[in-house]
Structure 1
Amino acid sequence: MQRRTLLAATSTLLGLPALVHAQALEKPKLTIAVGGKNLLYYLPLTIAESQGFFKAEGLDLTIADFAGGSQALRAVVGGSADVVSGAFEHTLNMQSKGQKLRAFVLQGRAPQIVLGVNPKTMPGFKTVADLKGKKIGVTAPGSSTNVMANFVLAKAGLKPSDVSIIGVGAGSGAVAAMRAGQIDAMSNLDPVITLLQRSGDLKVVSDTRIVAEAEKVFGGPMPAACLYAPQSFIDKNPATAQALANAIVRADKWIQAAGAADIIKAVPENYLLGDRAVYIDAFMAAKGALSPDGLFPEAGAATAARALQSIDETLKDVKFDLAGAYTNDFVRKALAKYPKG
């Protein structure tokens, strides 16, 4: 009788997966900070939310949206958020400041950042060196868009102090700043880039939406958007980190199998910036740069470290703990659990 009772109880529990998940998670209610949630750069985060993948893992998430990745990072360092959906290189940059942050699931395998010039204010543009003394718009100072701009400038022999960096956000404000001629160039992401390209308000100089071009620019695979958190959070909440990784891996796989119509239905209307056709074009341009499986490339951390050291003198002699910047352990478990997404 006792064995039958046990079997009945087990089958009842198996019928309540969400309850089992919720009981197993150390912190089911948590906050993710992101800088520019509407960007295709963070599409897996939005898909995991809109398709119910986070909820299926027993998570009750608040997603706090900021103007740029540097502000999202500050939210976690300051304690108002638990996890960041942000650019991978922040995990390395913060090592030099004594902060241990670790990335645990990948959303983007190339930065998707585009540097382009304003044809109105720079009609005679020929090379990146022409940007000396000009105003460059980024999502927020210190964000990955700023890092990308600095990197391309450095290759042309320019220092960050040779230009004026202006935060313009990642939406309609960025579009307006470009069209009004308030900035001479821009380092930003889709759908902003595709919208400005379509209207003739942006001339592309460097495009890391194309994986091969990103690897050429950075000299190797450059991991981009990911979920990262303080190492202390991951140590205390391994089941919660696993649940987050599961949801993002499912989203990564869902996106690769999705068509344009699926994406349009899955994202909020305000992401489209008033033009569905532009968003579809932007999605098709960015799809190849999104991670198909959530895994970090083995050479990725070294590429990111080289990029940071090439633009920041204070990091030149830093010996980064590359292995400590990321882990694929959670993703491997997620892939075993959801082999088909």
Structure 2
Amino acid sequence: MNFKKIAIGMVMLAACLTTSAFAQSIEKSKVSIAVGGKNLFYYLPLTIAEQLGYFKDEGLEVEISDFAGGSKALQALIGGSADVVSGAFEHTINMQAKGQMITAFVLQGRAPQIVFGVSNKTLPNYKSIADLKGKKIGVSAPGSSTNIMANFVLSKGGLKPTDVSFIGVGTSAGALSALRSGQIDAISNLDPVITMLQQKNEIRVIADTRKLSDTNAFFGGPMPAGTLYATEAFVKKYPNTTQALTNAMVRALKWLQTAGPSDIVKVVPESFLLGDRALYLDAFMNIRGALSPDGSFPDAGAATALRTLTAFEPELANKKIDLSKTFTNEFVKKANAKYR
């Protein structure tokens, strides 16, 4: 037996294993994530990944900053105070139109979960969208996905965004107060806020995208919703970090597919319940089908999003948007291979 050759072989194998491990190491272990309304079910997968320690399991130290709306979270990314955003897919299109490449790499929701409702207090005789002309519409934050949804609803009724006034009301108690006090005439928001308003018959729902069937009918195709997205430069520079983030999110999505309402309540912070546990659970059941089962982007989703945006932003039609660069399923495929 040639012990010298065996020894050399073992050294070479060890070197290969070390090189392989190094190649897979996380380039950036501390990651800051911006989110606009963390208490919303729209971002529930992010909360689950954080609360159950899935980010830590992937070797990440994640700091999540909560903002009043998705547009504010996007500003944090563009301004450099956040590495990643948990936010609406359509921002990837809008930013590319402005010359800034943003890539979504894991899908949290396959339906927007946004509901547009009219106040029964200030507009008790509402008949059509035309009645909203000159009225005040509450959105989480101007420019956010709730604003985009409101714009699309208005366009279907022949109104332009400039025909109304948009007011940022946040996504929790502030939104409830604004509608109940009469500060706004309509609201575009998400659960649990919407279910709370519905249960007390405070709004009349005009458009509802909490269910897949309603979403496909309303937008004319699959509409990707909440995602994790980052600049194209970040994804290219930190592929292993991006993969680790995706792994944690896909694991959270799979946990949500089998978790019961009582499991959810045990994991989310008490403040998310808005003082009503039963209502929170009802709201969860309303949106459960909207959560992505595996984090994958549907092939036709980006085209649906672009078509929707163009309906009230006609200038987009003149922009060259490369939809293939707005998202990638590369990391999701690997994550699903790891967490079956």
Specify the TM-score bucket, using the shorter chain as the normaliser: over 0.9
* Pair 1:246 & 2:247 matched: yes
Select between 321-330 and 306-315 the one with higher mean Cα deviation: 306-315
* Pair 1:185 & 2:183 matched: no
| Residue 27 of structure 1: aligned partner | 28
- Choose 1 or 2 for highest CA Rg: 2
| Residue 335 of structure 2: aligned partner | 334
| Contact preservation (8 Å) 1:31, 1:62 | yes
| Contact preservation (8 Å) 1:21, 1:57 | no
| Residue 169 of structure 2: aligned partner | 168
Q: Residues 211-262 of structure 1, C-alpha deviation per residue, up to 9 Å, x if partnerless?
A: 1111111111000000000000000000000000000101111111111000
Q: Which amino acid aligns with 2:117?
A: G
* Pair 1:119 & 2:103 matched: no
* Pair 1:42 & 2:43 matched: yes
Aligned-residue Cα RMSD (Å) equals 2.1
Percent identity of the aligned residues? 64
| Residue 295 of structure 1: aligned partner | 296
| Residue 16 of structure 1: aligned partner | none
Q: CA deviation at 1:28?
A: 0.6
Q: CA deviation at 1:314?
A: 2.3
| Contact preservation (8 Å) 1:22, 1:58 | no
| Residue 134 of structure 1: aligned partner | 135
Q: Which amino acid aligns with 1:290?
A: L
Q: Residues 175-201 of structure 1, C-alpha deviation per residue, up to 9 Å, x if partnerless?
A: 111111111000000011011111221
CA distance in 1, matches of 2:291, 2:23: 29
| Contact preservation (8 Å) 2:31, 2:62 | yes
Q: Residues 30-58 of structure 1, C-alpha deviation per residue, up to 9 Å, x if partnerless?
A: 10000001100000000000111100000
| Residue 220 of structure 1: aligned partner | 221
| Contact preservation (8 Å) 1:310, 1:316 | no
| Contact preservation (8 Å) 2:24, 2:240 | no
Q: Which amino acid aligns with 1:37?
A: K
SS of the aligned residue for 1:91 comes to helix
Segments ≥4 residues shifted beyond 4 Å: 20-23
* Pair 1:64 & 2:50 matched: no
Q: CA deviation at 1:23?
A: 8.1
CA distance in 2, matches of 1:116, 1:194: 11
| Contact preservation (8 Å) 2:246, 2:332 | yes
CA distance in 2, matches of 1:147, 1:51: 32
**1:50-89 counterparts in 2 under 5 A?**
50-89=51-90
TM-score, with structure 2 as normaliser: 0.94
CA distance in 1, matches of 2:36, 2:45: 14
* Pair 1:105 & 2:106 matched: yes
SS of the aligned residue for 2:275 comes to coil
Q: CA deviation at 1:276?
A: 0.3
| Residue 280 of structure 1: aligned partner | 281
Q: CA deviation at 1:22?
A: 12
User: Are residues 66 and 335 of structure 1, via their aligned partners in 2, closer, same or farther at CA, if it must alter by over 3 Å?
Assistant: same
Q: CA deviation at 1:21?
A: 9.4
User: Are residues 23 and 327 of structure 1, via their aligned partners in 2, closer, same or farther at CA, if it must alter by over 3 Å?
Assistant: closer
Q: Residues 114-171 of structure 1, C-alpha deviation per residue, up to 9 Å, x if partnerless?
A: 0001101011112222111111000000000000000010011000011110000001
CA distance in 2, matches of 1:21, 1:142: 41
Select between 307-316 and 292-301 the one with higher mean Cα deviation: 307-316
What is the number of equivalent residue pairs in this alignment?
A: 331
For structure 1, list consecutive stretches of 5 or more residues without a partner in the other structure: 14-19
SS of the aligned residue for 2:318 comes to coil
| Residue 201 of structure 1: aligned partner | 202
| Contact preservation (8 Å) 1:139, 1:168 | yes
| Residue 211 of structure 2: aligned partner | 210
CA distance in 2, matches of 1:21, 1:196: 52
| Contact preservation (8 Å) 2:88, 2:145 | yes
Q: Which amino acid aligns with 2:266?
A: K
| Contact preservation (8 Å) 1:22, 1:28 | no
